[in-house]
Amino acid sequence: MLLTDENELDLTHYIIFAVIKLAILLWLLLTAVAYIVLMERKVIARMQNRWGPTRVGPFGLLQPLADGIKFILKEDLVPDSVYKPLYIAAPMIALILSLISISIIPFGGNWNLGGYNIPLQMTAFWTGAGIQDINIGLLIILGITSIGVYGVALSGWSSNSKYSLLGSLRASAQLISYELALGLSLVGVLILSGSLSLRQIVDSQAGSILNWHFFGGFQFVAFFIYIMAAYAETNRIPFDLPEAETELVAGYHTEYSAMKFAMFFMAEYCNMVTVGCLATLLFFGGWHSPFDGLNIPAPGIWLMISPLFWFFIKVFFFIFLYIWIRGTLPRFRYDQLMSFGWKFLLPLAIANIVVTSLVLALKS
Amino acid sequence: MFHLVLFIIFAVICVAGALNFLLQRHPVNSALSLIVVMGSLALLFLLLGAEFVAAVQVIVYAGAVMVLFVFVIMLLNAGVEEKTRGNKVALALGVPGLIAFFILICWTVSSARSQLGRVSIGDFYVPTQQLGIALFREFLLPFEVTSVLVLIAIMGAVVLARRERQ
């Protein structure tokens, strides 16, 4: 199963590298989440013609640190009538599930450091002939999204308050409705790349910018559906009615304070990062540079770093898109939201599947 | 050996979840135990190598069907089950009967031990592509019949949930 070039069992190396990758990824992800919060506040502030946080540190750069310290030191109020086990477990479920998805995402090809072949993905190892990653990576991410509904549903019910219950029921209904459109919009990409493994989907887009599923694969409709469904899945404007302050006090996290509230917060931004990563992997060529077809000479060190660079640029753009839309659009009313998901996105996704498979069948 | 250890761990989790599902008095705890059972079943599928089935079990069963169960429990505000006085006769007949039935099953399975095969990790691995091809070629009729069945269920649900026209 785990074989090197010399046909040896490489289990210890795999475990050591996986632990190192885990430490680096976790640190990177949590720091990114903290700074995405700052970026959101600054960008929305600029759109509204004001500064954002500027006091703490130069340009407000230490604001996440101050927020973190505030959350840790705040009093953790637990109301008397809550159902304690689920009240404490629900934010944990939300945060854990949103952190798991990063382990399946590939960031690049293979790094050959000192004789060891290290794939830039946590759940992948190097066999003699290439990188072997999870065969069903895309399904695992969909599964994690499905289970993530429990964090929301259980938190609202266990808080024993009418605002929380209403908010969580609305949020859960929204989440399971848009999961369908989300899954179906990805089927077009599946048909084009022929595999559920994220690495192979990116490999099928190699070559030039015209091979990317969004451009050459003509999956722009699927991308549009995916972005909308993903915005609904992450509870972001224009689909954030369940946690809108003016509508339901604060929805399913009304009764939470301090660290538990911070966990819901972090889970939402982690989900944003996952959505951005998936969008780049499935529609925009992953870690491939848009200048791939033109053979520009590059030094060896740039060839090693360029996958990471392009991947992060693209994910950064998607997160900026999230924040941009938040600063621009009003939110949907609940019945508009549900009819949009069921009566528009779902038929459109099915139509996309039909057209994609027709075109592919006629071409071959 | 490795397979046996993993199988025993996940099977114990599954059975413990199922027993907890029966013994809990609050419906939400029962629903959560059922989710644990679904998850461990998915892990057992994965142990056999049926990765697609394991993923779909998590997505559909644990992630959609059980969410609806939890929805219903939350909406109807089902409270704690009340304790009723048990029936002494049922206890006196039932428990030995159950033990006898269990011993009968164990004896039947272990006496046919030589005819049962062995399986190791990943024995039933099938690439998803082949699964799809088989589903739409050899098993097309069962697939279509099942989808018609699901359609009938959806129509029944819509009819039942319709608002009454006064």
Cβ neighbours of A179 in B, within 8 Å? 63-64
Q: Does A208 reside within a domain? A: yes
**What is the model's pLDDT at position A220?**
92
Q: Taking CB atoms and an 8 Å limit, are A136 and B67 in contact across chains?
A: no
State pLDDT tens for residues B109-119. Answer: 899 888 887 78
Q: Which residue has the tokens 């996952």?
A: A274
Per residue, the 3-state secondary structure of chain A, as one string, reads CCECCCCCECHHHHHHHHHHHHHHHHHHHHHHHHHHHHHHHHHHHHHCCCCCCCCCCHHHCCHHHHHHHHHHHCCCCCCCCCCHHHHHHHHHHHHHHHHHHHHCCCCCCEEEECCEEEECCCCEEEECCEEEECCCHHHHHHHHHHHCHHHHHHHHHHCCCHHHHHHHHHHHHHHHHHHHHHHHHCHHHHHHHCCCCHHHHHHCCCCCHHHCCCCCCCCHHHHHHHHHHHHHHCCCCCCCHHHCHHHHCCHHHCCCCHHHHHHHHHHHHHHHHHHHHHHHHHHCCCCCCCCCCCCCCCCHHHHHHHHHHHHHHHHHHHHHHHHHHHHHCCCCCHHHHHHHHHHHHHHHHHHHHHHHHHHHHHHC
Asked if A259 contacts A87 with a C-beta cutoff of 8 angstroms, the reply is no
Per-residue pLDDT at B80 exceeds 50: yes
Asked if A297 contacts A347 with a C-beta cutoff of 8 angstroms, the reply is no
* Among chain A residues, CA nearest to B57: A143
**What is the model's pLDDT at position A112?**
80
**What is the model's pLDDT at position B83?**
76
B127–chain A Cβ distance below 8 A for any pair: yes
The mean pLDDT of B141-161, rounded to a whole number, is 94
Main-chain dihedrals φ then ψ at residue A9, nearest 5 degrees: -75, 120
Q: Does A14 reside within a domain? A: no
Query: What is the nearest CA distance from A104 to chain B, expressed in angstroms?
Result: 14
> What ipTM was estimated for this complex?
0.86
User: A346 lies in which domain range?
Assistant: 75-109+134-363
Q: Taking CB atoms and an 8 Å limit, are A157 and B128 in contact across chains?
A: no
Per-residue pLDDT at B90 exceeds 70: yes
A36–chain B Cβ distance below 8 A for any pair: no
pLDDT 10s digit of each residue in chain A, 364 long? 444 444 444 778 888 888 999 999 999 999 999 999 999 999 999 999 998 888 888 888 899 999 889 888 888 888 888 888 889 899 999 999 999 988 899 998 888 877 777 888 888 877 777 788 888 999 999 999 999 999 988 988 888 888 788 888 888 899 999 999 999 999 999 999 988 999 999 999 988 888 888 988 889 999 999 999 999 999 888 888 777 755 656 677 777 777 888 898 899 999 999 999 999 999 998 888 888 777 777 787 888 888 999 999 999 999 999 999 999 998 888 889 999 999 999 999 999 999 999 999 998 8
B28–chain A Cβ distance below 8 A for any pair: yes
Cβ neighbours of B136 in A, within 8 Å? none
Q: Which residue has the tokens 């590298």?
A: A17
- Number of folded domains in chain A? 1
**What is the model's pLDDT at position A246?**
58
Mean pLDDT of all residues belonging to chain B: 90
**What is the model's pLDDT at position A3?**
43
A180–chain B Cβ distance below 8 A for any pair: no
Query: What is the nearest CA distance from B52 to chain A, expressed in angstroms?
Result: 7
Cα dihedral: A259, A260, A266, A272 (round 10): -170
A201–chain B Cβ distance below 8 A for any pair: no
Question: What percent of chain B clears pLDDT 90, i.e. is strictly above it?
Answer: 60
Query: What is the nearest CA distance from B78 to chain A, expressed in angstroms?
Result: 12
What is the C-alpha separation between A345 and A342, in angstroms, rounded?
A: 6
Q: Does A91 reside within a domain? A: yes
Q: Does A275 reside within a domain? A: yes
Asked if A125 contacts A103 with a C-beta cutoff of 8 angstroms, the reply is no
Q: At what angle do helices A162-185 and A137-147 cross, to 10 degrees?
A: 160
Query: Of B143, B148, B121, B116, which is closest to residue B132 (Cα–Cα)?
Result: B143
Q: Does A166 reside within a domain? A: yes
Read off the pTM: 0.90
Which of A108-122, A155-169, B71-85, B138-152 is most confident? B138-152
Give the sign of the dihedral formed by CA A345, CA A346, CA A350, CA A353. Answer: positive
**What is the model's pLDDT at position A31?**
93
**What is the model's pLDDT at position A56?**
87
Query: Where residue B145 falls among pLDDT bands split at 50, 70, 90?
Result: very high
Q: Does A127 reside within a domain? A: no
